Amino acid sequence: MLKCGMLASVAVVHAEVTSIFKNDYPEDGTCGEEINIEKSWKNPHWLFPMVFGGFTEGKCADIGYSKFIRSEVVEMNPVPFVHHNLTFNIYGGTRSAIIDLELTDPARPDRTVRAKFCMPSSTESFPLYIVGHGAGCVAEDYQYFCETTATAMVYQKSPAGPIFPVDFDTASAAIDMKFLSTALIELSQTDASSPLFGRLDGTVIIGGHSMGGGATVLATGKEGASPDGLALFAPGLYTKPDATEFLPNIQAPTLIVSGSMDCGSNALDKEAQPAFDGLSSESKVLVVLKGANHCQWTSPEEKLLGVCKTFEKNECHSIDRREQQRLGNKLFASFARGLNDWNSFEADLAIGESAGLWDYFSSKTSAPSKMLQNDCPCGETSIV
């Protein structure tokens, strides 16, 4: 049993399964995507769309189309006498395409700092969210945040290539996150050739999922990054060095979200609650999102194996991934606004709790006797 943050032995996969997509298909302004395609020239569902249909390997979200509209069966006739029906998920555009950022930190000239970057499809400027990924996950797993804010997803290339995302150096990632928190703002203000120019409003939030949450603690509590806030989703403090001892050094406003059905070693009482309790932040909130689990904070983009991609089917939940991520974005957006108007954030939290979406504890407004609980054990096999 696994979660993002731990490894296990996995069976060798012989046939790669992937997705294909086409822009302005089946109609202008949409993107059609077929999922779970065996990548083989012997497979007509791969061969004909790729060779004759103008399709590209990947997902519609790669080019900024992530708003699900519908599923549709399309009859295809790629060559004479060949007819077959394919089922496509149709998406509308909500954000920019993902771009690769590669920068050099003058303090570490031998290291290339890498991030995947995207933002909402808009001419407005947005807060910058610097995201650390979970272990065994890839940066693109968190691109759904780009629907809400400008998002830089930190990563390094895996020495295992597409087989498995080997990227566990949290100590270096923490320094990368600190560097990006100032370097990207500078680019947005001074470099007219940068796609970030004029698109960031100056607000910086650092955060991440699982191991990436722990890397955030290292970036701020150990390395001295000074963001406007932290946003941690199912954080794991099991970094190297262990992030726990650096929690008291952090005073930035903080949002921590834990799924009520995250029932493994990342459960509320094991990671999220200790992280919350250890912070010195005057303004901090711990949210328990009902029905959410650990791995649905990702949209698995790994080519072959990944911790959440491979094992998330074993994890119980009572809301689906799309809803969990929608609510995560909702909480993040309210928190970002709350950095300038904390009362509005508290009001949104109270509304969500009244609606049965979550329970929360606020350092500012909750009674000291208020206790948060999860739904563990949740009755099924959990990722631990």
Q: Which range, 47-51, 66-70, 195-199, 313-317, is most confident? A: 195-199
- pLDDT band for position 227 (cuts 50, 70, 90): very high
Task: State which fold the 99-362 domain adopts.
Answer: Rossmann fold (3.40.50)
The whole-number average pLDDT for the span 326-335 is 97
| Distance in angstroms (rounded) separating the CA atoms of residues 197 and 193 | 7
**Is 60 exceeded by the pLDDT of residue 382?**
no
Q: What's the Cα-to-Cα distance from 376 to each of 86, 98, 266, rounded to whole Å?
A: 40, 36, 11
CB 176 within 8 A of CB 184: no
Give pLDDT tens digits for 114-123.
999 999 988 8
Q: How far apart are CA 51 and CA 1, in angstroms?
A: 40
The pLDDT assigned to 314 comes to 79
CA separation, residue 236 to residues 55, 109, 216 (Å): 39, 29, 10
CA-angle at 310, arms to 235 and 74, nearest 5°: 115
Identify which has the larger pLDDT, 181 or 299. 181
Asked if 260 and 289 count as a contact pair (C-beta separation under 8 A), the reply is yes
pLDDT tens track for 236-293:
999 999 999 999 999 999 999 999 999 988 999 999 999 999 999 999 999 999 999 9
Residue 95 is predicted with a pLDDT of 84
Mean pLDDT of 66-85: 77
Q: Which helix (H) or strand (E) holds 310?
A: helix 307-311
The percentage of the chain sitting over the pLDDT mark of 90, rounded to a whole number, equals: 71
Cis-peptide into 78, omega within 30 deg: no
- Top-confidence residue, 53 or 296: 296
**Mean pLDDT value across residues 44-68:** 84
Q: Tell me, what amino acid is at 143?
A: Q
* Mean pLDDT (whole number) for 170-192: 98
Stretch 142-168: mean pLDDT: 93
Nearest to 308 by CA among 207, 175, 212, 170: 212
Q: The tokens of 19 are what?
A: 């997705």
- The pLDDT-based confidence of 5 (bands split at 50, 70, 90) is very low
The strand pairing partners of 89, in sequence order, are 33, 71
Predicted local distance difference test score (pLDDT) of residue 16: 84
Please state, in angstroms and rounded to a whole number, the distance separating the CA atoms of residues 23 and 29: 8
Q: Regarding predicted confidence, which is higher, 127 or 309? A: 127
* pTM, full prediction: 0.81
Q: Which H or E run contains 208?
A: strand 200-210
- H or E segment to which residue 153 belongs: strand 150-155
Residue 373 near residue 307, CB atoms below 8 Å: no
pLDDT at 171 over 50: yes
For CA atoms 38, 40, 44, 47, the dihedral sign is positive
Closest Cα to residue 278, out of 352, 213, 204, 343?
Answer: 213
pLDDT of 74: 82
> In the chain, what is the straight-line distance between the N-terminal and C-terminal CA atoms, in Å?
6
For the chain, what are the domain ranges? Answer: 17-93, 99-362
Mean pLDDT taken over the chain: 90
Cα(266)–Cα(211) distance, rounded to whole angstroms? 10
Average pLDDT over residues 187-203: 96
Residue range 288-302, pLDDT digits in tens:
999 999 999 998 887
Look at residues 360, 362, 358, 350 and name the one whose alpha carbon lies nearest to residue 319.
Answer: 358
Query: How large a percentage of the chain has pLDDT more than 70?
Result: 92
Q: What is the dihedral of CA 151, 351, 299, 337, to 10 degrees?
A: 0
Q: How confident is the model at residue 24 (pLDDT cuts 50, 70, 90)?
A: confident
Dist. CA 212–CA 232, nearest whole Å: 8
pLDDT at 2: 42
If you average pLDDT over residues 142-161, what whole number do you get?
94
Is there a contact between 366 and 360 (Cβ–Cβ < 8 Å)? yes
